[in-house]
Structure 1
């Protein structure tokens, strides 16, 4: 029996403690290398249709 694939397509988001985020890994690494935000980036996988700003703010409040 085949199982249904119920996973949504996702996107990788790189974000910092100040709420700034990007979708590009190389840009995130560059920002870290110059200490642009005073912290290293975190990574989260979000659905393609997610409200990224809202999701990042929620992660920062947890």
Structure 2
């Protein structure tokens, strides 16, 4: 997923002549990053949800010496 997104960003940013200035290109990139993050915000890696409760419990307990 990330490699595909990086490829897409590289494709758009290589065409620098379409941007009036560096700030306009930066706005496009920030907007793309935000959209990507919002799209995948609720997802988790396969198998991680099964272990999520156990991990939370382990991390919330005080460390033993």
Q: Taking structure 2 as the reference length, what is the TM-score of the superposition? A: 0.24
Select the structure that is richer in helix: 2
TM-score (norm: length of structure 1): 0.25
